[in-house]
Amino acid sequence: MLGRHLLGYMPVQAAQAIVGFGSVAVFTRLMGAEAYGLYALALATLTLTHIATFTWLEAAVARFHARADARNRLRDHLSTAYGLYILLALGGGTLIFGAIHLAPIDNSLKAVFSFAAVSLIVRAALQIGLETHRAGGDIARYSALEASYLMLGFMIGVGLLAMTDLGPASIFIGTAAAALIALVFDLPVMLRRARGGQVQPVRARTYARYGSAVSLSLVFEHLLSVGDRFLIAAFLGSGAVGMYAAGYGLADRLLDIIFIWFGAAVWPMTLKAFETQSVDAARKLAGQAASLMALISFPAAAGLALVAEPLTTLIIGESVRAQAAVILPWIALSGLLNGMMTYYFHEAFTLRRRTGFMAALMAGAVALNLGLNLVFIPAFGIVGAAYATVLAYLISLVICAIAGRSLFPLPLPWGDWVKAGTATIVMASGVFMIPDFETAWISLLSKAVTGAIVYAAAAYVFNIANCRSWLRAFDKPNWRPEKQA
């Protein structure tokens, strides 16, 4: 069952990879360091605003779907969700556009933030449907909608960026248009499912209590991830932000794709098992996911660090390439720590609905990160922000893991984690033996292929996450992933 779910989300992860790497490669070439830095700041602000405004509702839609479905109250659940969305879109939208209008910034930057706000509001409407499909196990519809949205938004944005002088605003126009097109196909389906339901104030208050704490925690998580960009802008200027964001985006994007893949597939299954089966069933699924996370994410993070120089040379535009290769290995490590914390250890808090506790821990992590940045950026420059991020994530992960065990003791598959770490060291040793070539793509290809082969062999020898049984199963007739748990 777990294997079937993971494979079902592959189209979305493929689209995430194309858009993630493509956006860094294309945007850093079509925009200079200053413009890309402004885009990075606008994107960080957009994401933070989305989390503060709409994410609490999206989290509640996902968390309470299984319970509403089991009690035959799905129509009320969806009606309440859409009723809350209308209130948020009207009230929040008015505040957002008012703040943009009154902000002491030039008109071109106001245009960027305005189109970003439109994209935010339209995307939030689509997200209710996406969370419903994912929570309900309709993987095919979720994957088709999300992958189409990602690819279409990217293509429209790149087209406008190349053919007009709209600059960074082009990217947000593209995402807004893609969300509107996806809504044309999905919103009628969702409204039919909600037909006959009632907007229930009691249900709305329950969702708000749960989701507000989730949003607050995610606000702190986002500040932990991007707050240093605002400090870099203050100390070093927006051009430095562009350099930092390019390297950060390249490393963090790949790892984010991997962890989002696991989160999207495993979280609904774990939650359903927790609500309808038993704690032991939920723990079993979580333990399997933790082993698979290590199998894939450990070598991915190390691989990014090992090929930092040729990768940045090939993908990142010259205007922001200078520091990207230097910070990429550190960001790869921080991305690994962040992914394990967010998509595994935070499950203990969300399953037990102790999201307020989680938010408090993340607030402390943000304060720590910002304090470290205030010391490290003046001392070490851009790379100092990367040092601060790694240290803050490491301390935060340890604290969350210890605190979460008192709520829901998630399995700690040390055996598979040690095996994955050992196989990754073996892989790194093999890659270090490959010389650097004058041509970047030859260096990247030779190191990537060598690393993949060496790691695959080591993983098979160590049988990480019981991977041998997966490989042997391919030889069986009528094999299907769901037969392997």
pLDDT tens digits, 394-408: 998 999 899 888 888
Joined tokens for residue 394: 């490491």
How confident is the model over 362-397, as pLDDT tens digits?
888 888 888 898 999 888 888 888 889 899 889 989
- Structure tokens of 484? 């392997």
Three-class DSSP category at 21: helix
Highest mean pLDDT among 136-150, 172-186, 375-389, 430-444: 172-186
Cα distance between residue 404 and residue 357, in whole Å: 9
C-alpha distances (whole Å) from 91 to each of 87, 95, 96, 139, 150 are 6, 6, 9, 32, 27
Of the pLDDT bands very low, low, confident and very high (cuts 50, 70, 90), residue 357 is: confident
Phi, psi of 277 (to 5 degrees): -120, -95
Report residue 482's pLDDT band, with 50, 70 and 90 as the boundaries.
Answer: very low
Q: CB of 255 within 8 A of CB of 297? A: yes
The amino acid occupying position 383 is: V
Read off the tokens for 343: 């998509």
CB 267 within 8 A of CB 63: no
H/E stretch holding 484 reads none
Q: Which of 51, 214, 65, 50 is nearest to 119 (CA)?
A: 50
What are the residue ranges spanned by the domains of the chain? Answer: 2-483
Distance CA 173, CA 170 (A): 5
Indicate the pLDDT class of residue 181, thresholds 50, 70 and 90: very high
Residue 478 backbone phi and psi in degrees, to 5: 60, 35
Q: Is the pLDDT of residue 11 over 90?
A: no
pLDDT for the residue 47: 80
Q: What would the two tokens of residue 176 be?
A: 């807004």
Query: Rounded to whole angstroms, how far apart are CA atoms 20 and 260?
Result: 13
Give first-to-last CA distance, the chain, whole Å.
6
Q: What is the pLDDT of residues 59-70, one digit of tens each?
A: 889 888 888 888
Among the listed residues 363, 106, 478, the one whose alpha carbon sits nearest the alpha carbon of residue 371: 363
- 88 C-beta neighbours (distance < 10 Å), count: 16
C-alpha R_g of the chain: 22
Q: What is the mean pLDDT of the chain?
A: 83
The Cα-based distances of 269 to 193, 257, 258, 263, 409 in angstroms read: 22, 19, 17, 10, 17
Most confident of the ranges 214-218, 225-229, 360-364: 360-364
Q: How confident is the model over 272-297, as pLDDT tens digits?
A: 777 777 778 888 888 888 888 889 88
CB 164 within 8 A of CB 157: no
Q: What angle do CA 304, 338, 125 make, to 5 degrees?
A: 105
Q: What is the DSSP letter of 271?
A: H
Contact 350, 358 (CB under 8 A): yes
Place of tokens 């956006």: 23
pLDDT bin (cut points 50, 70, 90) of residue 1 is low
Mark 96-134 as b/e (b = at least 16 C-beta within 10 Å). Answer: bbeebeeeeeeeebbbbbbbbbbbbbbbbbbbbbbbbbb
Asked whether the beta carbons of 289 and 48 are under 8 A apart, the reply is no
